[in-house]
Structure 1
Amino acid sequence: MSPPPSQGGAAPAAPAPSATGPGCGTLDRVASLPVCVALGLGCDRGTPAETIAQAVAEALTQAAIRLGTPALEVTAAASITLKADEAGLLEVAAAAGWALHFYDAERLAGVTVPNPSATVRRYTGTPSVSEAAALLAAGTSLAADPGALLVEKHRLRGADGRNATVSIARMPR
Protein backbone atom coordinates (compact mmCIF):
# COMPACT_ATOMS: atom_id res chain seq x y z
CA MET A 1 0.00 0.00 0.00
CA SER A 2 1.33 3.43 -0.82
CA PRO A 3 1.04 6.22 1.74
CA PRO A 4 -1.64 8.89 1.42
CA PRO A 5 -0.60 11.79 -0.81
CA SER A 6 0.76 14.41 1.53
CA GLN A 7 3.98 16.23 1.99
CA GLY A 8 3.98 15.40 5.70
CA GLY A 9 6.55 13.78 7.86
CA ALA A 10 6.46 12.46 11.38
CA ALA A 11 4.15 14.18 13.83
CA PRO A 12 5.70 16.01 16.76
CA ALA A 13 6.03 14.12 20.04
CA ALA A 14 3.78 16.51 21.97
CA PRO A 15 0.15 15.34 22.08
CA ALA A 16 -1.27 18.78 21.28
CA PRO A 17 1.05 21.09 19.36
CA SER A 18 0.28 24.71 20.13
CA ALA A 19 2.09 26.49 17.34
CA THR A 20 2.85 26.17 13.70
CA GLY A 21 5.57 23.61 13.04
CA PRO A 22 8.96 24.48 11.62
CA GLY A 23 8.83 25.09 7.91
CA CYS A 24 5.08 25.75 7.96
CA GLY A 25 3.38 28.96 7.12
CA THR A 26 0.12 30.39 5.99
CA LEU A 27 -0.63 31.37 2.46
CA ASP A 28 -1.32 34.95 3.39
CA ARG A 29 2.11 35.33 5.05
CA VAL A 30 4.60 33.10 3.29
CA ALA A 31 3.42 31.65 0.00
CA SER A 32 6.34 29.27 -0.41
CA LEU A 33 5.78 27.39 2.87
CA PRO A 34 3.25 24.58 3.19
CA VAL A 35 0.19 24.98 5.39
CA CYS A 36 0.54 22.65 8.38
CA VAL A 37 -2.46 20.52 9.24
CA ALA A 38 -3.52 17.88 11.74
CA LEU A 39 -5.60 14.85 10.82
CA GLY A 40 -8.32 13.38 12.99
CA LEU A 41 -8.98 9.75 12.10
CA GLY A 42 -11.86 7.45 12.93
CA CYS A 43 -13.00 4.11 11.57
CA ASP A 44 -15.09 1.03 12.15
CA ARG A 45 -13.24 -1.82 13.85
CA GLY A 46 -11.34 -3.79 11.21
CA THR A 47 -11.41 -1.14 8.49
CA PRO A 48 -8.71 -1.97 5.92
CA ALA A 49 -5.75 0.38 5.55
CA GLU A 50 -6.67 0.91 1.90
CA THR A 51 -10.05 2.40 2.87
CA ILE A 52 -8.46 4.68 5.48
CA ALA A 53 -5.71 5.78 3.06
CA GLN A 54 -8.29 6.57 0.38
CA ALA A 55 -10.35 8.61 2.87
CA VAL A 56 -7.21 10.53 3.91
CA ALA A 57 -6.28 11.22 0.28
CA GLU A 58 -9.78 12.48 -0.52
CA ALA A 59 -9.86 14.71 2.58
CA LEU A 60 -6.41 16.16 1.82
CA THR A 61 -7.60 16.96 -1.70
CA GLN A 62 -10.67 18.74 -0.28
CA ALA A 63 -8.47 20.78 2.07
CA ALA A 64 -6.05 21.72 -0.72
CA ILE A 65 -8.93 22.85 -2.94
CA ARG A 66 -10.44 24.89 -0.11
CA LEU A 67 -7.11 26.61 0.54
CA GLY A 68 -6.22 26.92 -3.13
CA THR A 69 -2.87 25.17 -2.70
CA PRO A 70 -1.49 21.64 -2.87
CA ALA A 71 1.14 22.59 -0.27
CA LEU A 72 -0.17 20.87 2.86
CA GLU A 73 2.07 19.28 5.46
CA VAL A 74 0.58 16.77 7.88
CA THR A 75 2.32 17.51 11.17
CA ALA A 76 -0.01 15.59 13.50
CA ALA A 77 -2.47 12.70 13.29
CA ALA A 78 -4.80 11.58 16.06
CA SER A 79 -7.66 9.31 17.04
CA ILE A 80 -9.37 7.87 20.11
CA THR A 81 -7.56 5.54 22.52
CA LEU A 82 -10.01 2.78 21.54
CA LYS A 83 -8.20 2.71 18.19
CA ALA A 84 -4.65 2.46 19.56
CA ASP A 85 -4.48 -1.13 18.27
CA GLU A 86 -6.43 -0.59 15.03
CA ALA A 87 -4.27 -2.28 12.37
CA GLY A 88 -5.51 -0.18 9.44
CA LEU A 89 -4.86 3.12 11.22
CA LEU A 90 -1.44 2.01 12.38
CA GLU A 91 -0.50 0.82 8.89
CA VAL A 92 -1.54 4.08 7.22
CA ALA A 93 0.30 6.18 9.82
CA ALA A 94 3.45 4.06 9.55
CA ALA A 95 3.44 4.19 5.74
CA ALA A 96 3.15 7.99 5.83
CA GLY A 97 5.68 8.41 8.65
CA TRP A 98 3.16 9.91 11.09
CA ALA A 99 3.20 9.33 14.82
CA LEU A 100 -0.38 8.81 15.97
CA HIS A 101 -1.64 10.59 19.09
CA PHE A 102 -4.57 9.09 20.99
CA TYR A 103 -7.08 10.92 23.18
CA ASP A 104 -9.55 9.37 25.59
CA ALA A 105 -13.30 9.69 25.03
CA GLU A 106 -13.73 12.18 27.86
CA ARG A 107 -11.17 14.58 26.38
CA LEU A 108 -12.66 14.27 22.88
CA ALA A 109 -16.18 14.81 24.25
CA GLY A 110 -15.09 18.16 25.69
CA VAL A 111 -14.37 19.55 22.22
CA THR A 112 -17.09 21.53 20.43
CA VAL A 113 -17.56 20.16 16.91
CA PRO A 114 -19.97 20.93 14.06
CA ASN A 115 -21.12 17.34 13.48
CA PRO A 116 -21.65 15.44 16.75
CA SER A 117 -23.08 11.94 16.31
CA ALA A 118 -25.28 9.93 18.68
CA THR A 119 -24.12 6.76 16.92
CA VAL A 120 -20.45 7.57 17.49
CA ARG A 121 -21.25 8.39 21.15
CA ARG A 122 -22.98 5.01 21.58
CA TYR A 123 -19.91 3.10 20.37
CA THR A 124 -17.07 5.27 21.70
CA GLY A 125 -18.38 7.38 24.58
CA THR A 126 -17.85 10.65 22.68
CA PRO A 127 -19.98 12.33 20.01
CA SER A 128 -16.93 12.97 17.82
CA VAL A 129 -13.70 11.20 17.05
CA SER A 130 -12.26 12.64 13.84
CA GLU A 131 -13.30 16.30 14.23
CA ALA A 132 -12.41 16.49 17.92
CA ALA A 133 -9.11 14.62 17.44
CA ALA A 134 -8.09 16.92 14.57
CA LEU A 135 -8.76 20.04 16.63
CA LEU A 136 -6.93 18.68 19.70
CA ALA A 137 -3.94 17.56 17.62
CA ALA A 138 -3.80 20.98 15.95
CA GLY A 139 -3.87 22.67 19.35
CA THR A 140 -6.85 24.83 18.46
CA SER A 141 -10.61 25.08 18.78
CA LEU A 142 -13.49 26.46 16.78
CA ALA A 143 -13.89 29.18 19.42
CA ALA A 144 -10.29 30.30 18.89
CA ASP A 145 -10.39 29.92 15.10
CA PRO A 146 -13.82 29.33 13.52
CA GLY A 147 -12.10 28.39 10.24
CA ALA A 148 -9.67 25.89 11.78
CA LEU A 149 -11.55 22.82 10.60
CA LEU A 150 -10.71 22.69 6.89
CA VAL A 151 -12.49 19.37 6.36
CA GLU A 152 -15.23 18.73 8.88
CA LYS A 153 -15.98 15.03 8.65
CA HIS A 154 -15.16 13.24 5.44
CA ARG A 155 -16.69 9.76 5.53
CA LEU A 156 -15.82 6.94 3.17
CA ARG A 157 -17.59 3.59 3.12
CA GLY A 158 -15.18 0.95 1.85
CA ALA A 159 -16.00 -1.92 -0.49
CA ASP A 160 -16.41 -4.19 2.54
CA GLY A 161 -18.94 -1.82 4.14
CA ARG A 162 -16.59 -0.48 6.82
CA ASN A 163 -16.35 3.27 7.31
CA ALA A 164 -13.42 5.62 7.75
CA THR A 165 -13.72 9.27 8.74
CA VAL A 166 -11.12 11.99 8.36
CA SER A 167 -11.19 15.58 9.56
CA ILE A 168 -8.47 18.13 8.91
CA ALA A 169 -7.63 21.09 11.13
CA ARG A 170 -5.22 23.89 10.28
CA MET A 171 -2.45 24.42 12.81
CA PRO A 172 -2.62 27.84 14.51
CA ARG A 173 -0.95 30.71 12.69
Structure 2
Amino acid sequence: MTLVLAEGKQFSLQPTGSYAVVAITKHGVELARNLHSTFPQTDLFYMTKFERGDETERNITLFEGNVRMLLPSLFQSYKGIVMIISLGAVVRMIAPLLKDKKTDPAVVVIDDKGNHVISVLSGHLGGANELTKELADHLNATPVITTASDVQKTIPVDLFGRKFGWVWDSAEKLTPVSASVVNEEPVAIVQESGERNWWNYNKPLPSHLTVYETMEEAIHAKPKAALLVTHRLLSNEEQQLLHNGVLYRPKVIALGIGCNRGTSLDEIEQVIQKTLEELKFSIKSVKAICSIDLKKDEEGLVALAKKYQWDFTYYTPEQLNSVNIETPSDTVFKYTGAYAVSEPAARLYSGADSLVITKKKSGNVTLSVALISH
Protein backbone atom coordinates (compact mmCIF):
# COMPACT_ATOMS: atom_id res chain seq x y z
CA MET A 1 0.00 0.00 0.00
CA THR A 2 1.20 3.51 -0.82
CA LEU A 3 -0.02 6.57 1.09
CA VAL A 4 0.06 9.98 -0.55
CA LEU A 5 0.36 12.36 2.37
CA ALA A 6 -1.59 15.58 2.23
CA GLU A 7 -2.03 18.41 4.73
CA GLY A 8 -4.93 17.77 7.10
CA LYS A 9 -5.75 14.35 5.65
CA GLN A 10 -6.33 11.44 8.06
CA PHE A 11 -5.55 7.90 6.97
CA SER A 12 -7.44 4.84 8.12
CA LEU A 13 -4.71 2.38 9.06
CA GLN A 14 -5.18 -1.30 9.88
CA PRO A 15 -2.35 -2.22 12.23
CA THR A 16 -1.13 -5.81 12.37
CA GLY A 17 1.32 -5.02 15.16
CA SER A 18 1.53 -2.83 18.25
CA TYR A 19 4.40 -0.63 17.04
CA ALA A 20 4.95 1.48 13.93
CA VAL A 21 8.53 1.79 12.65
CA VAL A 22 9.17 4.85 10.46
CA ALA A 23 12.26 5.65 8.38
CA ILE A 24 13.07 8.41 5.88
CA THR A 25 16.73 7.87 4.95
CA LYS A 26 18.63 5.20 3.01
CA HIS A 27 20.48 3.83 6.05
CA GLY A 28 17.42 4.25 8.23
CA VAL A 29 15.33 2.16 5.84
CA GLU A 30 17.91 -0.63 5.88
CA LEU A 31 17.87 -0.65 9.68
CA ALA A 32 14.09 -0.47 9.73
CA ARG A 33 13.68 -3.41 7.33
CA ASN A 34 15.95 -5.56 9.50
CA LEU A 35 14.07 -4.50 12.61
CA HIS A 36 10.71 -5.21 10.98
CA SER A 37 11.78 -8.75 10.07
CA THR A 38 13.23 -9.63 13.47
CA PHE A 39 11.44 -7.59 16.15
CA PRO A 40 7.89 -8.76 16.89
CA GLN A 41 4.71 -6.71 16.57
CA THR A 42 6.07 -4.06 14.20
CA ASP A 43 4.53 -2.44 11.11
CA LEU A 44 6.95 -0.63 8.79
CA PHE A 45 6.53 2.70 6.97
CA TYR A 46 9.09 4.34 4.66
CA MET A 47 9.27 6.59 1.63
CA THR A 48 8.49 5.34 -1.89
CA LYS A 49 11.87 6.43 -3.23
CA PHE A 50 13.42 3.56 -1.23
CA GLU A 51 11.05 0.95 -2.68
CA ARG A 52 12.63 -2.49 -3.06
CA GLY A 53 9.81 -4.34 -4.79
CA ASP A 54 8.96 -6.73 -1.97
CA GLU A 55 6.91 -4.30 0.12
CA THR A 56 3.50 -5.84 -0.67
CA GLU A 57 4.78 -9.32 0.11
CA ARG A 58 6.26 -8.13 3.43
CA ASN A 59 3.24 -5.95 4.30
CA ILE A 60 5.32 -2.75 4.30
CA THR A 61 3.56 0.59 3.76
CA LEU A 62 5.17 3.16 1.47
CA PHE A 63 4.38 6.88 1.59
CA GLU A 64 4.97 10.02 -0.46
CA GLY A 65 5.19 13.47 1.09
CA ASN A 66 6.19 14.85 4.48
CA VAL A 67 6.30 12.21 7.22
CA ARG A 68 4.88 14.78 9.64
CA MET A 69 1.48 14.33 7.99
CA LEU A 70 1.55 10.58 8.67
CA LEU A 71 2.00 11.00 12.42
CA PRO A 72 -1.60 11.87 13.45
CA SER A 73 -2.79 8.52 12.06
CA LEU A 74 0.08 6.65 13.72
CA PHE A 75 -0.67 8.32 17.07
CA GLN A 76 -4.25 7.07 16.91
CA SER A 77 -3.44 3.56 15.67
CA TYR A 78 -0.38 2.30 17.56
CA LYS A 79 0.74 1.64 21.11
CA GLY A 80 4.20 2.90 20.22
CA ILE A 81 6.06 4.60 17.38
CA VAL A 82 9.73 3.91 16.61
CA MET A 83 11.26 6.66 14.48
CA ILE A 84 14.64 6.32 12.77
CA ILE A 85 14.84 10.08 12.39
CA SER A 86 16.87 12.74 14.20
CA LEU A 87 15.66 13.53 17.71
CA GLY A 88 15.21 17.26 17.07
CA ALA A 89 13.03 16.63 14.01
CA VAL A 90 10.91 14.14 15.91
CA VAL A 91 10.36 16.57 18.79
CA ARG A 92 9.18 19.28 16.40
CA MET A 93 6.88 16.89 14.52
CA ILE A 94 5.15 15.34 17.52
CA ALA A 95 4.76 18.55 19.57
CA PRO A 96 1.35 19.53 18.09
CA LEU A 97 -0.02 16.01 18.70
CA LEU A 98 0.69 15.72 22.42
CA LYS A 99 -2.28 15.45 24.81
CA ASP A 100 -1.27 13.84 28.10
CA LYS A 101 0.92 11.03 29.38
CA LYS A 102 -2.05 8.76 30.06
CA THR A 103 -3.08 8.66 26.39
CA ASP A 104 -0.05 9.57 24.26
CA PRO A 105 1.68 6.56 22.65
CA ALA A 106 5.26 5.63 23.38
CA VAL A 107 7.72 7.36 21.06
CA VAL A 108 11.26 6.01 20.66
CA VAL A 109 14.00 7.42 18.41
CA ILE A 110 16.87 5.39 16.90
CA ASP A 111 19.81 7.05 15.17
CA ASP A 112 20.64 6.20 11.55
CA LYS A 113 23.37 3.73 12.48
CA GLY A 114 21.45 2.03 15.27
CA ASN A 115 23.95 3.06 17.93
CA HIS A 116 21.50 4.69 20.33
CA VAL A 117 17.86 4.03 21.22
CA ILE A 118 16.25 7.03 22.93
CA SER A 119 13.05 7.08 25.00
CA VAL A 120 11.32 10.32 23.96
CA LEU A 121 7.65 10.23 25.04
CA SER A 122 5.45 8.32 27.49
CA GLY A 123 8.41 6.62 29.12
CA HIS A 124 6.49 5.04 31.97
CA LEU A 125 2.77 4.83 31.31
CA GLY A 126 3.17 4.46 27.56
CA GLY A 127 5.97 1.93 27.89
CA ALA A 128 8.64 3.83 25.96
CA ASN A 129 11.34 3.09 28.55
CA GLU A 130 10.70 -0.63 28.43
CA LEU A 131 10.50 -0.58 24.63
CA THR A 132 13.79 1.35 24.53
CA LYS A 133 15.51 -1.33 26.61
CA GLU A 134 14.10 -4.14 24.45
CA LEU A 135 15.13 -2.45 21.20
CA ALA A 136 18.59 -1.65 22.53
CA ASP A 137 19.10 -5.28 23.55
CA HIS A 138 17.85 -6.40 20.15
CA LEU A 139 20.15 -4.03 18.24
CA ASN A 140 23.09 -4.27 20.65
CA ALA A 141 22.74 -0.50 21.03
CA THR A 142 22.95 1.92 23.96
CA PRO A 143 19.59 2.74 25.59
CA VAL A 144 19.08 6.39 26.53
CA ILE A 145 16.53 6.85 29.30
CA THR A 146 16.29 10.07 31.29
CA THR A 147 13.36 9.34 33.63
CA ALA A 148 14.63 10.11 37.13
CA SER A 149 13.22 7.01 38.86
CA ASP A 150 14.81 4.73 36.24
CA VAL A 151 18.16 6.48 36.41
CA GLN A 152 18.16 6.44 40.23
CA LYS A 153 16.76 2.89 40.37
CA THR A 154 13.97 3.74 42.75
CA ILE A 155 10.17 3.26 42.77
CA PRO A 156 8.43 4.61 39.66
CA VAL A 157 5.31 5.99 41.33
CA ASP A 158 3.16 5.92 38.18
CA LEU A 159 4.10 2.28 37.49
CA PHE A 160 4.19 0.94 41.05
CA GLY A 161 2.54 -2.50 41.02
CA ARG A 162 1.41 -2.15 37.41
CA LYS A 163 2.90 -5.50 36.42
CA PHE A 164 0.64 -7.11 39.03
CA GLY A 165 -2.45 -5.26 37.83
CA TRP A 166 -2.56 -2.69 40.64
CA VAL A 167 -4.52 0.46 39.79
CA TRP A 168 -4.56 3.91 41.38
CA ASP A 169 -7.59 5.29 43.12
CA SER A 170 -6.62 8.70 41.73
CA ALA A 171 -3.81 10.05 39.56
CA GLU A 172 -4.04 13.49 41.17
CA LYS A 173 -0.91 13.19 43.33
CA LEU A 174 1.30 11.13 41.01
CA THR A 175 3.53 14.06 40.08
CA PRO A 176 4.20 15.52 43.57
CA VAL A 177 4.68 12.08 45.10
CA SER A 178 7.09 11.15 42.30
CA ALA A 179 8.99 14.33 43.09
CA SER A 180 9.25 13.31 46.76
CA VAL A 181 10.58 9.88 45.78
CA VAL A 182 13.27 11.10 43.37
CA ASN A 183 14.23 14.05 45.61
CA GLU A 184 14.86 11.61 48.48
CA GLU A 185 12.29 13.09 50.83
CA PRO A 186 10.83 10.82 53.56
CA VAL A 187 8.24 8.57 51.92
CA ALA A 188 6.05 6.09 53.81
CA ILE A 189 4.99 2.79 52.25
CA VAL A 190 2.13 0.84 53.79
CA GLN A 191 1.02 -2.42 52.22
CA GLU A 192 -1.97 -4.31 53.58
CA SER A 193 -2.55 -6.63 50.62
CA GLY A 194 -1.24 -7.53 47.19
CA GLU A 195 1.98 -8.95 45.80
CA ARG A 196 5.05 -8.34 47.95
CA ASN A 197 7.86 -8.77 45.42
CA TRP A 198 7.67 -5.25 43.97
CA TRP A 199 11.28 -4.21 44.69
CA ASN A 200 13.23 -5.36 41.62
CA TYR A 201 16.70 -3.92 42.14
CA ASN A 202 19.83 -5.67 43.39
CA LYS A 203 20.25 -3.23 46.26
CA PRO A 204 18.42 -2.37 49.50
CA LEU A 205 15.39 -0.10 49.50
CA PRO A 206 16.68 3.52 49.66
CA SER A 207 16.77 4.88 53.20
CA HIS A 208 14.23 7.65 52.52
CA LEU A 209 11.62 5.00 51.65
CA THR A 210 10.28 3.42 54.84
CA VAL A 211 7.88 0.51 55.03
CA TYR A 212 5.42 0.74 57.94
CA GLU A 213 3.28 -2.11 59.24
CA THR A 214 0.16 0.02 59.75
CA MET A 215 -1.43 3.23 58.54
CA GLU A 216 -1.33 4.48 62.14
CA GLU A 217 2.48 4.12 62.25
CA ALA A 218 2.81 5.98 58.96
CA ILE A 219 0.60 8.83 60.16
CA HIS A 220 2.67 9.12 63.34
CA ALA A 221 5.90 9.31 61.25
CA LYS A 222 4.61 12.39 59.37
CA PRO A 223 6.25 11.59 55.99
CA LYS A 224 6.44 14.04 53.11
CA ALA A 225 4.62 11.53 50.88
CA ALA A 226 3.00 8.11 51.04
CA LEU A 227 2.43 5.04 48.87
CA LEU A 228 -0.52 3.04 50.21
CA VAL A 229 -1.45 -0.43 48.95
CA THR A 230 -4.74 -1.81 50.21
CA HIS A 231 -8.12 -3.16 49.15
CA ARG A 232 -9.78 -1.30 52.04
CA LEU A 233 -11.59 2.01 51.94
CA LEU A 234 -9.58 4.37 54.13
CA SER A 235 -10.97 5.90 57.31
CA ASN A 236 -11.17 9.68 57.64
CA GLU A 237 -8.03 9.66 59.76
CA GLU A 238 -6.10 7.50 57.30
CA GLN A 239 -7.02 9.77 54.40
CA GLN A 240 -4.66 12.43 55.73
CA LEU A 241 -1.87 10.31 54.21
CA LEU A 242 -3.37 11.13 50.80
CA HIS A 243 -2.61 14.83 51.24
CA ASN A 244 0.53 13.92 49.30
CA GLY A 245 -0.05 10.24 48.67
CA VAL A 246 -1.09 7.71 46.07
CA LEU A 247 -3.50 4.90 46.93
CA TYR A 248 -3.04 1.66 44.97
CA ARG A 249 -5.66 -1.06 44.62
CA PRO A 250 -4.16 -4.55 44.33
CA LYS A 251 -6.31 -7.21 42.68
CA VAL A 252 -7.02 -9.41 45.70
CA ILE A 253 -10.79 -9.90 45.90
CA ALA A 254 -12.40 -13.03 44.47
CA LEU A 255 -16.20 -13.15 44.25
CA GLY A 256 -17.92 -16.51 44.18
CA ILE A 257 -21.33 -16.09 42.54
CA GLY A 258 -24.37 -18.30 42.15
CA CYS A 259 -27.52 -16.96 40.51
CA ASN A 260 -30.80 -18.04 39.00
CA ARG A 261 -30.90 -18.37 35.23
CA GLY A 262 -31.58 -15.03 33.56
CA THR A 263 -30.53 -12.84 36.49
CA SER A 264 -29.73 -9.38 35.13
CA LEU A 265 -26.39 -7.62 35.18
CA ASP A 266 -27.95 -4.79 37.20
CA GLU A 267 -29.13 -7.09 39.98
CA ILE A 268 -25.81 -8.94 40.27
CA GLU A 269 -23.89 -5.66 40.17
CA GLN A 270 -26.05 -4.06 42.87
CA VAL A 271 -25.52 -7.00 45.23
CA ILE A 272 -21.77 -6.82 44.71
CA GLN A 273 -21.58 -3.05 45.14
CA LYS A 274 -23.70 -3.08 48.32
CA THR A 275 -21.73 -5.97 49.82
CA LEU A 276 -18.35 -4.37 49.13
CA GLU A 277 -19.57 -1.05 50.57
CA GLU A 278 -20.65 -2.85 53.75
CA LEU A 279 -17.24 -4.52 53.98
CA LYS A 280 -15.53 -1.19 53.22
CA PHE A 281 -13.71 -2.85 50.32
CA SER A 282 -12.87 -1.13 47.01
CA ILE A 283 -14.49 -2.57 43.91
CA LYS A 284 -11.24 -1.68 42.11
CA SER A 285 -9.54 -4.52 44.01
CA VAL A 286 -11.81 -7.21 42.58
CA LYS A 287 -9.79 -9.63 40.48
CA ALA A 288 -12.30 -12.28 39.48
CA ILE A 289 -15.80 -13.66 39.61
CA CYS A 290 -16.11 -17.43 39.96
CA SER A 291 -19.00 -19.83 39.46
CA ILE A 292 -20.02 -23.27 38.18
CA ASP A 293 -19.48 -24.25 34.54
CA LEU A 294 -23.26 -24.32 34.07
CA LYS A 295 -23.06 -20.53 34.30
CA LYS A 296 -20.25 -19.98 31.80
CA ASP A 297 -22.75 -18.52 29.31
CA GLU A 298 -24.92 -16.71 31.88
CA GLU A 299 -25.49 -13.34 30.23
CA GLY A 300 -25.46 -11.30 33.44
CA LEU A 301 -22.14 -12.81 34.57
CA VAL A 302 -20.53 -12.53 31.14
CA ALA A 303 -21.59 -8.88 30.88
CA LEU A 304 -20.34 -8.16 34.40
CA ALA A 305 -16.89 -9.61 33.71
CA LYS A 306 -16.68 -7.65 30.45
CA LYS A 307 -17.79 -4.37 32.04
CA TYR A 308 -15.17 -4.47 34.80
CA GLN A 309 -12.55 -6.50 32.88
CA TRP A 310 -12.57 -9.13 35.63
CA ASP A 311 -11.45 -12.73 35.21
CA PHE A 312 -14.43 -15.07 34.87
CA THR A 313 -13.52 -18.56 36.09
CA TYR A 314 -15.90 -21.49 36.37
CA TYR A 315 -15.53 -24.97 37.82
CA THR A 316 -17.10 -28.37 37.28
CA PRO A 317 -19.42 -29.81 39.95
CA GLU A 318 -16.69 -32.35 40.78
CA GLN A 319 -14.18 -29.57 41.42
CA LEU A 320 -16.65 -27.67 43.60
CA ASN A 321 -17.55 -30.79 45.56
CA SER A 322 -13.88 -31.41 46.34
CA VAL A 323 -13.93 -28.39 48.68
CA ASN A 324 -15.05 -28.63 52.30
CA ILE A 325 -17.89 -26.15 52.80
CA GLU A 326 -19.95 -25.00 55.77
CA THR A 327 -23.47 -25.37 54.41
CA PRO A 328 -23.91 -28.04 51.69
CA SER A 329 -27.33 -27.96 50.02
CA ASP A 330 -29.16 -30.98 48.64
CA THR A 331 -31.39 -28.60 46.66
CA VAL A 332 -28.43 -26.99 44.90
CA PHE A 333 -27.02 -30.48 44.25
CA LYS A 334 -30.30 -31.56 42.66
CA TYR A 335 -30.13 -28.80 40.05
CA THR A 336 -26.37 -28.40 39.52
CA GLY A 337 -24.61 -31.54 40.69
CA ALA A 338 -22.70 -29.44 43.25
CA TYR A 339 -23.56 -29.02 46.92
CA ALA A 340 -22.75 -25.32 46.69
CA VAL A 341 -21.48 -22.88 44.08
CA SER A 342 -20.38 -19.49 45.39
CA GLU A 343 -18.49 -20.69 48.49
CA PRO A 344 -16.36 -23.45 46.94
CA ALA A 345 -15.76 -21.36 43.78
CA ALA A 346 -14.37 -18.49 45.87
CA ARG A 347 -12.22 -20.90 47.89
CA LEU A 348 -10.83 -22.62 44.78
CA TYR A 349 -9.93 -19.37 43.07
CA SER A 350 -8.46 -17.58 46.07
CA GLY A 351 -6.83 -20.50 47.85
CA ALA A 352 -8.09 -18.91 51.07
CA ASP A 353 -8.63 -21.06 54.17
CA SER A 354 -11.48 -18.83 55.31
CA LEU A 355 -13.78 -16.43 53.52
CA VAL A 356 -14.66 -12.84 54.35
CA ILE A 357 -18.28 -13.70 53.55
CA THR A 358 -19.11 -17.38 53.36
CA LYS A 359 -22.48 -17.04 51.69
CA LYS A 360 -24.84 -14.11 51.30
CA LYS A 361 -28.20 -14.61 49.65
CA SER A 362 -29.89 -11.58 48.09
CA GLY A 363 -32.76 -11.95 45.64
CA ASN A 364 -31.59 -14.12 42.76
CA VAL A 365 -27.92 -13.87 43.73
CA THR A 366 -25.73 -15.81 46.15
CA LEU A 367 -22.37 -14.19 46.88
CA SER A 368 -19.19 -15.31 48.63
CA VAL A 369 -16.19 -13.02 49.14
CA ALA A 370 -12.57 -14.16 49.49
CA LEU A 371 -9.24 -12.37 49.78
CA ILE A 372 -6.24 -13.66 47.85
CA SER A 373 -3.23 -13.75 50.14
CA HIS A 374 0.33 -13.08 49.01
Fold shared by both chains (TM-score > 0.5)? yes
1:150 to 343, 356, 363: 356
Aligned partners of 2:265, 2:214: CA distance in 1, in Å?
Answer: 34
Question: Deviation digits for residues 127-147 of structure 1, max 9, x if unmatched?
Answer: 11001111111123x3xxxxx
1:107 to 308, 314, 319: 319
Question: Which amino acid in structure 1 is aligned with residue 230 of structure 2?
Answer: P
Aligned partners of 2:335, 2:359: CA distance in 1, in Å?
Answer: 17
- The CA deviation at 1:23 is 4.3
The question of whether the paired residues in 2 share the 8 Å contact of 1:40 and 1:134 is answered with yes
- The CA deviation at 1:63 is 2.9
Mark the runs of 5 or more structure 1 residues left unpaired by the alignment. 1-20, 143-147, 158-162
- The CA deviation at 1:61 is 2.3
Question: Which amino acid in structure 2 is aligned with residue 26 of structure 1?
Answer: E
Question: Which amino acid in structure 2 is aligned with residue 108 of structure 1?
Answer: L
2:295 to 74, 83, 88: 83
Find the residue that maps to 2:326 and give its secondary structure: coil
The question of whether the paired residues in 2 share the 8 Å contact of 1:51 and 1:156 is answered with no
Give the equivalent residue in structure 1 for 2:310. Answer: 98
Question: Deviation digits for residues 29-48 of structure 1, max 9, x if unmatched?
Answer: 46521232111111011111
Mark the CA change 1:107 to 1:39 in structure 2 (over 3 Å): closer, same or farther: same
- The CA deviation at 1:62 is 3.3
Mark the runs of 5 or more structure 2 residues left unpaired by the alignment. 1-163, 168-190, 194-211, 216-227, 232-251
Mark the CA change 1:134 to 1:61 in structure 2 (over 3 Å): closer, same or farther: same
The question of whether the paired residues in 1 share the 8 Å contact of 2:360 and 2:366 is answered with yes
Mark the CA change 1:46 to 1:71 in structure 2 (over 3 Å): closer, same or farther: closer
Give the equivalent residue in structure 2 for 1:50. Answer: 266
The question of whether the paired residues in 1 share the 8 Å contact of 2:273 and 2:283 is answered with no
Give the equivalent residue in structure 1 for 2:230. Answer: 34
Aligned partners of 2:335, 2:273: CA distance in 1, in Å?
Answer: 26
The question of whether the paired residues in 2 share the 8 Å contact of 1:108 and 1:129 is answered with yes
- Which structure carries more relative contact order (alpha carbon 8 Å, separation 6+)? 1
Give the equivalent residue in structure 1 for 2:177. Answer: none
Give the equivalent residue in structure 1 for 2:278. Answer: 62
Mark the CA change 1:45 to 1:71 in structure 2 (over 3 Å): closer, same or farther: closer
Question: Which amino acid in structure 2 is aligned with residue 55 of structure 1?
Answer: V
Is 2:371 the partner of 1:170? Answer: yes
- Count of aligned pairs: 138
The question of whether the paired residues in 2 share the 8 Å contact of 1:33 and 1:71 is answered with no
Find the residue that maps to 1:54 and give its secondary structure: helix
- TM, length-normalised to structure 1: 0.70
Question: Which amino acid in structure 1 is aligned with residue 257 of structure 2?
Answer: L
Aligned partners of 1:113, 1:29: CA distance in 2, in Å?
Answer: 33
Question: Which amino acid in structure 2 is aligned with residue 155 of structure 1?
Answer: K
Mark the CA change 1:105 to 1:96 in structure 2 (over 3 Å): closer, same or farther: same
Structure (1/2) with the larger helix percentage: 2
Aligned partners of 1:37, 1:45: CA distance in 2, in Å?
Answer: 24
- TM, length-normalised to structure 2: 0.34
